[in-house]
Amino acid sequence: MTEYVFLDTETTGLDDDAQVVEIAIVDDTGAVLFESLVKPTVPVEPEAAAIHGIGPDRLASAPTWPEIAEQVRAALEGKTVVIFNSDFDIRLLQQTATAHAAGQGVEAYDAAVKWILELETRCAMYRAADVYGATNQYGTISLVNAAAAAGVEFQGRVHSAAGDAATTAALWRVMNAFEHEN
């Protein structure tokens, strides 16, 4: 039987230099398996901080990506990782690992990044858009709208990694039940 885990990140922004500032991994019941702030190598954009509330003060004593990467890897490898907008989160994990491996040579880069790209992932956002219908110009649906359409109460605080990951887990359970009924 497939073991699912659910991942979410909060980030410094959206661009090609953006990095992870918070990560959470939960199991299929929404129980937290791993959660941490992450000190980035770039500043948090004010727009991003306004959304998730994570600024330099909260990140000052946070661990860096290399300090938590093995814990993250242990929680994810060998499992199917479900992410709401998996393309974005995988890209940001890769960018974060790359920023910390910069200048350390090809082997260090491969060790830091390759496992992220080899994860088995599923995108809950595209699945939710298929089940509940797209609600925006991109042909997708937000987590808040998908949860509302599924009748799922938001778990924790919106735009917190643990809350979003747990809500994705609850949404995934509802979508699985819906598909088995139809």
Q: Answer for the pair 9, 25: CB distance below 8 angstroms, yes or no.
A: no
Q: Collect all residues with Cβ–Cβ distance below 8 Å to 103 and sequence separation of at least 6.
A: none
- pLDDT tens-place string over residues 52-103: 999 999 999 999 999 999 999 999 999 999 999 999 999 999 999 999 887 7
- pLDDT tens-place string over residues 8-46: 999 999 999 999 999 999 999 999 999 999 999 999 999
Q: Give pLDDT, residue 116.
A: 96
Q: Give pLDDT, residue 179.
A: 64
End-to-end CA distance of the chain: 21
pTM, whole model, 2 decimals? 0.94
Of all residues in the chain, the percent with pLDDT exceeding 90 is 86
Q: Give pLDDT, residue 27.
A: 97
Q: Answer for the pair 83, 7: CB distance below 8 angstroms, yes or no.
A: yes
Q: Give pLDDT, residue 181.
A: 61
| pLDDT confidence band for 180 (50 / 70 / 90) | low
Least confident of 108-117, 121-130, 152-161: 108-117
Cα 47 from chain centre: 18
- pLDDT tens-place string over residues 63-72: 999 999 999 9
Mean of pLDDT values over 116-131: 96
Q: Answer for the pair 38, 61: CB distance below 8 angstroms, yes or no.
A: no
DSSP string across the chain: -PPEEEEEEEES-SSTT--EEEEEEE-TT--EEEEEE-B-SSPPPHHHHHHH---HHHHTTPPBHHHHHHHHHHHHTTSEEEETTHHHHHHHHHHHHHHHHTTS-HHHHHHHHHHHHT-EEEEHHHHHHHHH---STTS---HHHHHHHHTPPP-S-TTSHHHHHHHHHHHHHHHHHHHHH-
Q: What is the mean pLDDT of the chain?
A: 94
- pLDDT tens-place string over residues 136-167: 999 999 999 999 999 999 998 889 999 999 99
